[in-house]
Amino acid sequence: MDLVIAVFVAFLLLAGALFSLIAAIGIVRLPDLYSRMHAASKAGTVGSGLLLLAVGVHSENLPIFARALAGFVFFVLTAPVSAHLLARAAHKAGHRLAPPSVRDDLSKGLSNRRSLKTGS
């Protein structure tokens, strides 16, 4: 049974490290702020969550595993929301999309809200 747990923990650690590496490469290689935030929030969240689960499983202690699982759930629920809010604030502050980007749905939503507030 110890071998099964060790192999499972190793798998979680390797998968978490791989997702974290992909997030780091995405932050360095992607062209604009929004793409970089997407890479950091999605792949970084999965990588960190898998590493947290690996720690919880490795402890072989139910209260520690429960805390690790609660941390994973909290992280999965809050990281994408905070990245979205940061991207929205950056868009309002005037950060432009990279030239390869083909759609800017947020600018349509903001201009519609502005016209509703001004009544024009």
Percent of the chain with pLDDT over 70: 90
Cα–Cα separations (whole angstroms), residue 16 to 24, 30, 34, 44, 86: 12, 21, 23, 9, 24
C-alpha span between 92 and 40 (Å, rounded): 20
Residue 96 is classified by DSSP as P
Overall pTM > 0.85: no
The two three-digit tokens of residue 116, written as one number: 């509703």
Write the CA distances from 108 to 3, 82, 98, integer angstroms: 55, 21, 17
Please state the domain count of the chain: 1
Domain residues for 50? 2-118
94: phi > 0 → left, psi -120 to 50 → alpha, else beta; which? left
* pLDDT tens string 3-47: 999 999 999 999 999 999 999 999 999 988 888 998 889 898 999
Residue 118 pLDDT greater than 70, yes or no:
no
pLDDT in tens, 43-86: 989 999 999 999 999 999 999 999 999 999 999 899 989 998 99
Q: How many degrees, rounded to 5, is the angle at CA 33 between CA 93 and CA 17?
A: 140
Phi/psi for 6 (5° steps) reads -65, -40
